[in-house]
Amino acid sequence: MSISVIICNGCCCGRVEKGHNEVPIDELEAAWEANRIGEAVKLTISDCLGPCSMHNVSLLNTGSGKIWLGELSSLDDYEAIVEWAIESSEKKEGSKLPEILEARRFVRVGESIVRLRDLG
């Protein structure tokens, strides 16, 4: 499995009219280009990824598994995704998740969502 970042910009994610924070698509695309990481870590801006209750969702494919992130609310969250992608592109494998993103991590079990921060 290759390394990739999928950013939801679907029916709920990024919809300020629904009370969610904007998804900084232009900034993400510019960061991918400026850091020349597009060949090592693919960036995809997608329609709805599904777990709408988590709003502003992203999916990281690490090369060995998947990491779901939700409730991304600040530019700092998205900058941490860029940092993860840069480090992953250098290592050619999924890197350790930045601490700021650990709090945003969840697991999908069928249609259910488990927030990992609630387990610890």
Supply the pLDDT for residue 116. Answer: 65
Q: Residues 29-37: what's their mean pLDDT? A: 98
- State pTM to two decimals: 0.90
User: What is the pLDDT, as a whole number, of residue 109?
Assistant: 74
Cα–Cα distance between 34 and 12 in angstroms, integer? 28
Which pLDDT does position 94 carry in this prediction? 83
Listed residue (74, 71, 39) closest to 57, CA to CA: 71
State phi, psi for 28 to the nearest 5 degrees.
Answer: -65, -50
Q: Is 119 a residue whose pLDDT tops 90? A: no
The region that residue 62 occupies, defined by phi over 0 for left and psi between -120 and 50 for alpha, beta otherwise, is alpha
Asked whether residue 25 carries a pLDDT value surpassing 60, the answer given is yes
